[in-house]
Amino acid sequence: MTLRPKQAPIVAALPVTVPFVGPEAQQRASGRTFRARIGANESSFGPAPSVIRKMQEVAADQWMYCDPDNFDLKAALAAHLGVGFDNVVVGEGIDGLLNLAVRIFVAPGQAVVTSLGAYPTFNFHVDGFGGRLVKVAYENDRESLDGLLAAVRRDNAAMVYLSNPDNPMGTWWEADDVSRFADALPETTLFVLDEAYGETGPDSALPPISVDRPNVIRMRTFSKAYGLAGLRCGYAVGETQVIADFEKVRNHYGVSRMAQIAGEAALADQAWLAEVKAKVAAGRRRIAAIARDNGLSPIESATNFVTIDCGGDGAFALRVMQNLLARDVFIRKPMVPVLDRCIRVSVGLDPELDIFAEELPRALAGARG
């Protein structure tokens, strides 16, 4: 019998699982390249030309380690947001920051409240640190603020997670609703507000930045509207002591030199951000029109994707997605009951949406046949 190092009990109890099967893995399996990559909520419009030029300019400098303090990017973010330098922490995208939040504030066995069907990677972090997930059903395709609050109070939750605008449905709450939710939470419950899609939604969905509450942490990213998903760079904003807690345990060399420089350059080019927001809005309108032309019902979205009600059950929507994948059109779909009646299509370049418009009727026919 071969002896091996013993896993920690929490990890040993976890199933072997992968949060996402990426388009690269699907391409390797099929031996074909996707003609339309409109499933991962990336920005096909890419980073600003000014950011690309800056990245090219510093490409030869990547032999150096990154600045472990993320100083220049933190300073730029603080100035942009109107907060103090010590109110910002930078991490490896929101995923990396969620991992730290759970590690810092959730002890094994403590309840963590989220929505059933919400961003699944958050759940993997909770499971990985031994937290106890409490899931609340969506209501009318939105995360239920009342349901989340009731679950927090009932289970004395250490943490509650809300994405606004939401993934995977694209819906949102207005800022006043989010603020009332935060006001009603126990002071001992950390509110993790994921605003990955904040730049693509209406300004009215974003509460004013405040760093006075020790139980609120807001997370944003350069992966979506700024077009830098491949560099993995995000940031969190919060009260000084909360940010100091992140500084205790974060990977100080986790955000590459290129990511820091590109993030700072992206933040400086707000004109490009405005252009991308306009393109995203136009793309949402086009996807919605394609859906309606095929007898489907698009859900109004504040993100860079549109979730489409296929009008049937989860099995039918799965067949629609599989038929599109077979036609080399990469999309995704929600997988939990009720939400699973839908497919989710990211805004892409016009040629990609042309392909989606061409192939959707065939995929629907295949799913029905």
Peptide bond before residue 49 is cis, with ω within 30 degrees of 0: no
Q: Is residue 111 in a domain?
A: yes
Q: Please tell me whether residues 276 and 231 are part of one structural domain.
A: no
Q: Please tell me whether residues 203 and 341 are part of one structural domain.
A: no
Domain count, the chain: 2
| Cα dihedral: 284, 286, 288, 289 (round 10) | 160
Q: Please tell me whether residues 135 and 167 are part of one structural domain.
A: yes
Q: Is residue 90 in a domain?
A: yes
Query: How do residues 335-359 score in pLDDT, each as one tens digit?
Result: 999 999 999 999 999 999 999 999 9
Residue 91: strand pairing partners: 234
Distance CA(201)–CA(222), nearest Å, equals: 15
* Segments forming the whole domain that contains residue 55: 49-268
Least confident of 6-15, 81-90, 214-223, 262-271: 6-15
From residue 70, alpha-carbon distances to 51, 98, 209, 242, 261 in Å are: 18, 18, 21, 17, 9
Q: Please tell me whether residues 104 and 85 are part of one structural domain.
A: yes
Q: Please tell me whether residues 123 and 261 are part of one structural domain.
A: yes
Query: How do residues 230-287 score in pLDDT, each as one tens digit?
Result: 999 999 999 999 999 999 999 999 999 999 999 999 999 999 999 999 999 999 999 9
Q: Is residue 105 in a domain?
A: yes
31 C-beta neighbours (distance < 10 Å), count: 6
Q: Is residue 35 in a domain?
A: yes
Q: Is residue 304 in a domain?
A: yes
Give alpha helix (H) positions in the chain: 9-12, 23-30, 49-58, 71-81, 93-105, 120-128, 145-155, 175-184, 240-249, 257-268, 270-293, 314-326, 350-368
Q: What band does 220 get if pLDDT is binned at 50, 70 and 90? A: very high
Q: Is residue 342 in a domain?
A: yes
From residue 249, alpha-carbon distances to 73, 107, 112, 164, 175 in Å are: 19, 15, 20, 26, 31
Q: Please tell me whether residues 339 and 277 are part of one structural domain.
A: yes
Of 208, 236, 268, the last residue of a domain is: 268
Query: How do residues 160-201 score in pLDDT, each as one tens digit?
Result: 999 999 999 999 999 999 999 999 999 999 999 999 999 999
For 239, half-sphere exposure in the C-beta direction (CA atoms, 13 angstrom radius) is 10
Q: Is residue 3 in a domain?
A: no
Tell me what pLDDT residue 19 has.
67
Q: Please tell me whether residues 181 and 67 are part of one structural domain.
A: yes
Of 235, 253, 268, the last residue of a domain is: 268
Of 241, 268, 295, the last residue of a domain is: 268
CATH number of the CATH domain containing 301:
3.90.1150.10
Q: Is residue 180 in a domain?
A: yes
Q: Please tell me whether residues 130 and 100 are part of one structural domain.
A: yes
What are the tokens at 293?
Answer: 């032309």
Q: Please tell me whether residues 190 and 259 are part of one structural domain.
A: yes
Tell me what pLDDT residue 2 has.
86
pTM: 0.96
CATH number of the CATH domain containing 247:
3.40.640.10
Q: Please tell me whether residues 334 and 217 are part of one structural domain.
A: no
Q: Please tell me whether residues 121 and 201 are part of one structural domain.
A: yes
Q: Please tell me whether residues 30 and 167 are part of one structural domain.
A: no
